[in-house]
Structure formats: C-alpha cells, structure tokens
C-alpha cells in the first residue's frame, strides 16, 4: 500500500483564470491518494462560481489566508507545520513567492514553484529566479516555451514540464451545413491576446468571404482592454458582426455553438482556452507562439500563422469556412490529440508518478525521469 503524503496546493485566488482551474484539477487528481489542502492566498479576490462549484462537488479542503500580510505569513506557516506538509505546489508569482518563504521557514521537504506563461516582465523573472534558485526544490512549467525562457534567464536546471490537463468531453453531433459561421475567442481582455489583430482579421475576412456565407465573431472574457476592443470594433464598423461577452455562465455551451476557434496572441504558455475549444471539436486558427504548436497539429487539427499576420489568419479562416468537411475532420483530429496527450488521466498519472518518485527525480530538457527509468535506459 502506498503511503499518503501531506500535500498543500497554494493559489493566489479562485478567480476565472486558467491557473485557478488547473489548481482545482490537481486537487481533484490527488485528493483520493493523498492528504490534501488548498491554500488561497488572497481572500479579497472574488471566487468564480465554477471554482466554488468545484470545491463543493469534489469536497476539496480549502483554507483562506488573512488579508494582513504579516498574519498571512503567520497563518500559512502555522498550517504547514500543523498539517505536517511534505510537499507544496504553487502556480503564480504571488503564491509561489509566499509559499516558498513559508515552506522554507518550516522546512517543508519539497517545494514546487510554477511557470504558467512563456513571457513575464523582467522584474518578476528576477524575483522568481532568486526564489527558484535559493528557496525552491523545483519549478513546474506548464509549457516548454516557458521552460526554455527560464533556463535561458539563469534558472538552475531544476525546471520540469508538466502540461495542463483537461477532462475530456464526448464529441456532440454538430451542424456543418449552415451558412452562418460562428468564430470564437476566449481569454482575458489583455494586450497579450492581440484582440486588435483579431478584429482586423475579421474585417479583412469579410472582404474575401464567399457571399453565400455570413460570419459572426464572439470575444469572451473580461479585462482592462475592454474599451480598446470596443473602439476597434467601432473603427472597422463591425458592431453587427462582433459580440463582446463579459459574463459567460457556460463557456462550453458557447464553444459547442461555435464553428471555429481563433487565437491571435503574441505570446502564450499552453492555452487552456485552445484546449477547451479542441475539447468541443473545433478546428483552430492560431498564432504560432508558446506551446501552440504542441497543441495544434498544423494542417491536421488547425492552422498555425505568424504573429500579427491578419491576412494569413483571415485566409485560413476562409479556407475552413468554405470547407465543412475540413472543419469536421480537423475538429475530430484535435479532439483525439487532446485526449491522448492532455487528458485528465494522463495529467493525473504524471503528478502521482512525480510524488511517488519524488526522491529520485532527474530532469533532461524539461522532461522528468526517475531512478527506475535510468536503470532501464
């Protein structure tokens, strides 16, 4: 019988973002096999309803730290000591720094930080590099682009890659004969996502689109670029063609009702939004950044296009619009690829194996190997 370990997962908040979703997915994956607690660092952040539903449905033990910074450290260290925590996982810069300090103070044996993107501001990189090199045992990157950036910036070779996971949905029957095509993008309304290019892409697409077809574009998300996006929609006269949805109660319902997923980001880690779109059998048109090339099989499950090339993006969208057979074929191929490489069971196994073999980790180019594997090689 395998011995249960006492594990803490730290996350800054339980807001809408991908890291928060992955935190609760990891909690679900581990809770049956180990003693688990989720520590929420910032109690002032509003909890997204889906996150609250996950906590209740999976009966995940969650502790919220106080708002006061000194009390936050005091309460966190007390919890780590009281629960005899052996492993701490963290995700974002804030929770990584706090958990590294607190776990170091109480001598937690294994401390893991997180890298969730392929790009971070230089100051954050400097802070996280120090934390990784001197306070943490390892850092887990959810994408290879982030791993490579960290190593190039001077992180010690203790960075390993475990991609995001997702619970696979069955493919639902889809209508491929309609002449009204819905294109969709999900994500925070931030400059990283380049929604200005997305809007320019839609404007150009309308100029080359076969007149038998009508397109409608949905942008789903919240963030500081909202007004800039609305201004761009007005600039191109696309008020009737583009809808900005800030509060979506059911993301999957929107995806199921769409035909093509569009990503115009100029940097990414591994995109939860693209994974969700693939989970609904959508073909993807995306910029070739971050780990998009690991998610999307170019010309098989979608198309990869250079950053800012709105004409190429529009051309690829147009190809898919004019070929219902290609939309279906690519959507099915993407769903199969997602299930095989990023499904929940594979994700769960990677973390369970890591925990079971935690004393015998070897990392080669971001890949994790264990002692028994070294003996076989």
Secondary structure letter of residue 47 according to DSSP = P
Q: Cα–Cα distance between 316 and 20 in angstroms, integer?
A: 32
Tokens of 358: 């935690």
pTM (two decimals): 0.87
Pairing of strands 62-64, 87-90: unpaired
Triad 298, 302, 303: Cα angle to 5°: 60
Q: What is the tens place of the pLDDT at every residue in 100-121?
A: 999 999 999 999 999 988 777 8
Q: What is the pLDDT of residue 247?
A: 83
Q: What is the pLDDT of residue 377?
A: 45
Q: What is the pLDDT of residue 46?
A: 82
What is the full DSSP assignment across 273-338? HHHHHHHTT--EEEES-TTHHHHS-BTTTEEEE-TT-HHHHHHHHHHHHT-HHHHHHHHHHHHHHH
What is the full DSSP assignment across 132-185? HHHT-SEEEESSHHHHHHHHHTT--S-EEE----BPPPPPPP-----SEEEEEE
Tokens of 35: 């003693």
End-to-end CA distance of the chain: 27
Q: Name residue, tokens 């070294």.
A: 374
Q: What is the pLDDT of residue 35?
A: 98
Q: Name residue, tokens 């998300």.
A: 221
Beta bridge partners of 111: 88
Q: What is the pLDDT of residue 170?
A: 95
Q: Cα–Cα distance between 113 and 162 in angstroms, integer?
A: 12
Q: What is the pLDDT of residue 372?
A: 58
**What does the pLDDT profile of the chain (377 residues) look like in tens digits?**
578 999 999 999 998 788 999 999 999 999 999 999 999 999 888 888 888 899 999 999 999 999 999 999 999 999 999 999 999 999 999 999 999 999 999 999 999 999 988 777 888 889 999 999 999 999 999 999 999 999 999 999 999 999 999 999 999 998 898 999 999 999 989 999 999 999 999 999 999 999 999 999 999 998 999 999 999 999 999 999 999 999 888 999 999 999 999 999 998 889 999 999 999 999 999 999 999 999 999 999 999 999 999 999 999 999 999 999 999 999 999 999 999 999 999 999 999 999 999 999 999 999 999 975 444 44
Q: Name residue, tokens 């994790």.
A: 368
């Amino acid at each position: 019988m395998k011995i249960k370990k006492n594990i803490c997962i730290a996350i800054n908040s339980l807001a809408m973002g991908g890291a928060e979703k992955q935190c609760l997915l990891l909690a679900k994956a581990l809770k049956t096999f180990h003693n688990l607690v989720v520590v929420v660092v910032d109690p002032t952040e509003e909890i997204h309803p889906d996150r609250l539903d996950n906590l209740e449905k999976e009966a995940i033990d969650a502790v919220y730290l106080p708002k006061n910074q000194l009390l936050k450290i005091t309460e966190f260290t007390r919890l780590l000591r009281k629960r005899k925590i052996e492993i701490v996982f963290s995700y974002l810069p804030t929770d990584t720094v706090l958990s590294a300090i607190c776990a170091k103070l109480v001598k937690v044996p294994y401390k893991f930080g997180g890298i969730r993107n392929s790009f971070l501001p230089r100051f954050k990189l400097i802070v996280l590099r120090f934390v990784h090199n001197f306070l943490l045992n390892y850092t887990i990157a959810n994408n290879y682009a982030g791993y490579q950036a960290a190593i190039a910036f001077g992180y010690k070779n203790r960075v390993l890659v475990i991609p995001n996971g997702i619970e696979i949905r069955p493919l639902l029957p889809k209508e491929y004969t309609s002449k009204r095509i819905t294109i969709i993008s999900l994500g925070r309304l931030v400059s990283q996502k380049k929604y200005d290019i997305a809007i320019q892409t839609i404007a150009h697409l309308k100029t080359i689109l076969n007149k038998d077809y009508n397109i409608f574009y949905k942008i789903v998300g919240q963030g500081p670029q909202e007004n800039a996006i609305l201004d761009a929609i007005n600039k191109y006269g696309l008020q009737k063609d583009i809808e900005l949805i800030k509060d979506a109660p059911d993301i999957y319902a929107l995806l199921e009702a769409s035909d093509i997923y569009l990503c115009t980001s100029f940097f990414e880690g591994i995109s939860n939004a693209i994974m969700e779109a693939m989970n609904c059998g959508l073909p993807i048109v995306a910029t070739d950044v971050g780990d998009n090339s690991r998610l999307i099989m170019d010309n098989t499950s979608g198309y990869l296009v250079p950053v800012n090339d709105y004409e190429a993006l529009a051309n690829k969208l147009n190809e898919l619009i004019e070929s219902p057979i290609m939309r279906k074929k690519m959507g099915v191929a993407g769903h199969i690829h997602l299930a095989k490489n990023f499904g929940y069971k594979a994700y769960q196994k990677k973390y369970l194996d890591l925990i079971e073999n935690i004393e015998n980790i070897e990392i080669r180019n971001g890949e994790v190997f264990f002692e028994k594997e070294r003996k076989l090689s």
